Structure 1
């Protein structure tokens, strides 16, 4: 009897071991260490439940260390099977070095628009090497209580926008707009590249700039600086020394009525602000104009070209490209919006307001991110500086455009 029991036990153990041996474990490399619990509690269990035999380990690195750590692992042959991709040049370099596989043939790629894929493609668009995951959208977050108290309607045109700012300033209860120029990047990111697409017509202008068919001295590229120059009167005393966290605090404490925003602020603002919030897209120049939004590609996922489990990795990436993942990810991280063509209904009302703009406006990405910031001077960093200078009044809009174009001309020669 004992021998029979031991035999059954041994057989059961061997069978369990064989089943366990068949499981494949894939490791994800990422710089997003702030969403570890979301991967562990929501995303990975959903995938593993539908794909028995494939286990996922999410192993993030601190953001500032990610690029260096990933490159070291790739060189040593110890990198994970799945690699979270930053937009544009850093990931393109990984692909050019043979570290990322070409994913163009995956079926889920059909779920993404050319704009969504552009951050993870070769310059000619022939190869796409990361499955798009999410973008961030720019616009303006406002204090609904302040707008209601002052009888201000949400502005839809530039004239209405400045009329609203004038009304807030005249009342004196609130700083009209919370933004500083100390850190420079927000003047460009939430300033120039927020309002600019309505002037240069989004992708039409951005691609024309890359092709050399438009210049930063053209009216469509100078006009956003002219608008930024007008912001100075509405930013409150001492805005020149005001840091990014200062601006966040001014708004969430209820001292400012409008915040030029990126959607990544949503989760933090929801926990900090004690008032009702709303959001509006960058106002169009003239009533009836087509509207454009900066819907900036932010994060994607690729496959280590040397993965020992390419089939399983591709199965996971097909899932990342699915509508199921899109819904789970976007609602777990409000403000990071799915790039999937299938619309995702957001449970967070502020996030839903931002993403609803895709239905009425054309999406584009930040004008400096693709190709145009590979040389010295770096156009992205120069745009930070120019935007801050124009707001402060230390450089004119025309001079800023001229300086940036001269810098670009010094190293960049359009392919055509």
Structure 2
């Protein structure tokens, strides 16, 4: 009996300690610093409501600093418990180094199709290492007030697109087309990779390039550069020195009419702009063509293999794989579209328009992201340079394409990926 009496206080103490133990805190590493308030105010509270024993902190870095800082933190053992995963090779390399875990066994992974998981799955298709969160869709956002004032309609074809630009230029009130070339990536991702699928036939062309059956010097790959070169007269004065934030400000201040865009701009633009906005997909070559859009896998979430809270990190990933997360995320971040099977309600009108294109257009992803940017020179980064050069007029479309193909040929052999 004495031993039983001695155990009772010990058990009571243990129970009291368990009841008052501090919740485990998980830290999320991410490059999306524009999402901070949505995570803090909507997404994380939705999780913590049903998981009071787990707290979550979202600690983003500037997008340009993220990759280098994350690698340094992971190597030093100081990275957060959950890692926002860029698509394809950037995250695949972390998995290969043993820094991300397999998520094959996370409950809810069957909510995603094989295609939805492609950007975060090993080349052999056997292991997925991040839970998909969202894709972004490319197109054009326009100042609807400006269009109404000048009696303009959103263009459906390339010829209509340039007719609209000519009318805007003649009127002179607005910068017709709002993009700068200083940062390079805009020229590629909001320029070439936005309009390109119309010319190289989207997924068919992308897969042919990977297989070595087509080259960047083929006419259907050169033509998007030719169109980009035609953009030059419609850009702002000094566009060569115009940064990405400059472009955003020019549009939201109402000084530009058309903004080559990704759907991720919606939330920020709706906060900043004092005018009505509309969107249209990349213009088709002929009205009878099917529209083609870039629906780019954007972000996923993985677990740091060295996390001291791996069990709790897996619980959070299970929630990320759930329909509840998909709905909260999509509602909180209009323009970031769930990759899960099944429908998610989208209340934002501009986001709904972008999303509607999935049902109307053929979809593809950026052509450089799978396999083709693993070597040196990195094809995606070279596209940044050459797309800017073409818009600036310092390289012809043909010269830009030849440089890109020569760089790719220097290391890429189609059978080796």
Contact 2:179–2:235 (8 Å) recurs in 1: yes
Provide the residue aligned with 2:127 in structure 1.
127
- The alpha carbon displacement at 1:336 in A equals 2.3
Secondary structure (helix, strand or coil) at the match of 1:122 reads: coil
| Cα distance in structure 1, aligned partners of 2:272 and 2:25 | 39
Give the corresponding residue for 2:274. 274
Partner of 1:350: 350
1:139-218 alignment, distance < 5 Å = 139-218=139-218
Q: Call closer, same or farther: CA 1:241–1:20 in 2, change over 3 Å.
A: same
1:298 corresponds to 2:298: yes
Cross-structure match for 1:42: 42
1:103 is paired with a residue of what secondary structure?
A: coil
After superposition, the Cα gap between the structure-2 partners of 1:56 and 1:207, relative to the gap in structure 1 and judged at 3 Å, is farther
1:298 partner SS: strand
CA distance in 1, matches of 2:164, 2:126: 47
* Preserved contact between residue 176 and residue 234 of structure 1 (Cα < 8 Å): yes
Structure 1 pair 173–30 and aligned structure 2 pair: CA distance change class (3 A): closer
Residues 140-149 or 260-269, more deviating: 260-269
Aligned residues: 408
Q: Pairwise mapping of residues 302-381 of structure 1 onto structure 2 (< 5 A)?
A: 302-307=302-307, 310-381=310-381
Does the CA contact (< 8 Å) of 2:54 and 2:312 recur in 1?
Answer: no
1:301, distance to aligned residue in structure 2 (A): 0.7
SS across alignment from 2:408: helix
CA distance in 2, matches of 1:223, 1:247: 25
TM-score by length of 2: 0.89
Cα distance change on mapping 1:361 and 1:109 into 2, 3 Å: farther
Measure, in 1, the Cα distance between the counterparts of 2:245 and 2:33: 21
How large is the RMSD of aligned CA atoms in angstroms? 2.6
Look up the match of 2:4.
Answer: none
Q: What are the within-5 Å matches in structure 2 for residues 396-415 of structure 1?
A: 396-415=396-415
For the structure 1 residues 183 and 41, does the alpha-carbon distance in structure 2 shift closer, same or farther, using more than 3 Å as the test? closer
Mapped to 2, the partners of 1:375 and 1:313 lie a distance apart of 33
Task: Name the TM-score, length of structure 1 as normaliser.
Answer: 0.89
- Indicate conservation of the 8 Å contact 1:111/1:341, yes or no: yes
Partner-residue secondary structure (3-state), 1:415: helix
> CA–CA distance in 2 between the matches of 1:37 and 1:260?
25
CA contact (8 A) 1:279 1:354 kept: yes
Distance 1:37 1:244 in 2: 21
Q: Which runs of 5+ in 1 are unaligned?
A: 1-7
Aligned to 1:4: none
Change in CA separation of 1:386 and 1:29 when aligned onto 2, cut-off 3 Å: closer
Alpha-carbon distance in 1 for matches of 2:229, 2:372: 24
Contact 1:87 1:298 (C-alpha < 8 Å) held by counterparts: yes
Where structure 2 has 5 or more consecutive residues not aligned to the other structure, the ranges are 1-7
- Say whether 1:261 aligns with 2:286: no
